[in-house]
Each structure stands twice: as structure tokens, then as C-alpha cells.
Structure 1
């Protein structure tokens, strides 16, 4: 699990706020980027660079 370090605006105009939690579903180039699936505040799968995420603390 990972947490967004800053808000990001998707190409469709929706914004995932900083602190959104998502599941890492794919790792690119030894951790340079990640594909992350979010379910809240809405469902989205987003490719993010490593510096846009931090490890989520256990729920």
C-alpha cells in the first residue's frame, strides 16, 4: 500500500488529494515508477513516479 505525498489532477480533471491510499499493482524499472489503484475518493488506476508516493502505515 502507498500514500500520495501531494494532490494530483488526472487527465479527466478529477483530483486525488494528498494522503489518498492505494494498492501498488505494478512496479516499473526497479521502483522508478508505480501503477497504483485507488478506491477512495473515487476509483482510479494511476502511474506515478516514486517521489509522488510514500509507504502506507498498516491500517
Structure 2
């Protein structure tokens, strides 16, 4: 788990987030890793996954 002090990461909001800004997920990609966090709870940090695992999850979720 990454903490909120990981300020060097550039997070982007999911295109599947609701239009009103609720239920949002943000993702940041770095070489070999994808970090995921809840927009409403940024201070709790982010979960880091190897990029191949994140890609596999997205393929199954579509």
C-alpha cells in the first residue's frame, strides 16, 4: 500500500466514474506498477499492483 506521501504519482480519474464526482477511482501508472485510490479518501493512500495484474483485472471487468 502506498501512502498519501507518494506525491510524485500523477493520478487520473476513471472514465467510468459518475458524472457527479461520486464513486470515483483514480489510477496512476509507473513503470511496472499501477496505483489505485478512492477519490473520496485520498488521504488513506493507494493500493499498488504489478501492471500485468492491473491489465488482467481490466480485461476481465470489461
TM-score over 0.5 for the pair: no
TM-score range, shorter chain: 0.3 to 0.5
Q: Which has the higher helix share?
A: 2
Q: TM-score, normalised by structure 1?
A: 0.38
Q: TM-score, normalised by structure 2?
A: 0.37
